[in-house]
Chain A
Amino acid sequence: GNSVTQMEGPVTLSEEAFLTINCTYTATGYPSLFWYVQYPGEGLQLLLKATKADDKGSNKGFEATYRKETTSFHLEKGSVQVSDSAVYFCALTPSSGNTPLVFGKGTRLSVIA
């Protein structure tokens, strides 16, 4: 079946540090891949997405590249800020059929000043 595996958190970084959150997936065909972010007490916000191999999604300084060969979609940011503290979810939708988002378990990021 379809699944998403994210690195376990929590991740604690100092401000301006480099961030990587690993995400790998299992799916047939070419799923669409997403990163969502959830700030404390809020719902999910779409951070970025990629719909085909080698696509790079980017937003607010975050980026992730769809790697079909390694079935990965790692999230990166060059310099994190305290305001980036949140839970990050990697997710996919399969390439066919009307099936719901499959989420990873989420990675909590804490950025300290």
Chain B
Amino acid sequence: KAGVTQTPRYLIKTRGQQVTLSCSPISGHRSVSWYQQTPGQGLQFLFEYFSETQRNKGNFPGRFSGRQFSNSRSEMNVSTLELGDSALYLCASSSTSGGGLRDTQYFGPGTRLTVL
């Protein structure tokens, strides 16, 4: 089975721009979650989607948003980029049982975003 895929792998943007990251979960997985990883803050949860609905949200400003499509693929968007948004953005998917975040999370390789 193919793993979680994320595109693009690397992205360079300037302050004030917006960016969209994409995540394709493992086939059959319906829950997709997003995490931000930075050296200072470590791994922080952004949000989780299940069946096209946001079920859980972390403590991030409204500039961070996401959505999920009917095929379970997910996108996250960051508007009005700030220097502090530079990070590795990781997507994870979990199994079909519907347990969502309680099920084992399988991570993609991440998208490395650099904001200049």
Contact = CB atoms under 8 A, between A and B. Distances in A.
Interface in B58-111: 58, 88, 90, 92, 99-102, 104-110
A91 B16 CA distance: 34
Given A93-B101, A105-B42, A99 B109 contact: no
A89 B43 CA distance: 10
A34 B48 contact: no
B43 A49 contact: no
B90 A99 contact: no
Given A43-B108, A89-B43, A103-B43, A98 B100 contact: yes
A45 interface: yes
Interface residues of A, number: 21
B59 to A, nearest CB: 11
B29 to A, nearest CB: 13
Given A98-B56, A100-B45, A106-B42, A32 B102 contact: yes
A35 to B, nearest CB: 12
A95 B109 CA distance: 27
A100 B55 contact: no
A1 to B, nearest CB: 13
B33 interface: yes
A112 interface: no
A45 B107 contact: yes
Given A42-B110, A44-B107, A105-B42, A98 B90 contact: no
Contacts of A11: none
A46 interface: yes
Given A42-B109, A43-B107, A43-B110, A99 B101 contact: yes
Interface of B: 4, 6, 33, 35, 42-43, 45, 48, 55-56, 58, 88, 90, 92, 99-102, 104-110
Given A89-B43, A98-B102, 4 more contacts: A43-B109, A44-B90, A44-B92, A46-B107
Closest 7 pairs between A and B when the two form their complex, measured CB to CB = A100-B45, A44-B107, A43-B109, A43-B110, A103-B43, A43-B107, A98-B100
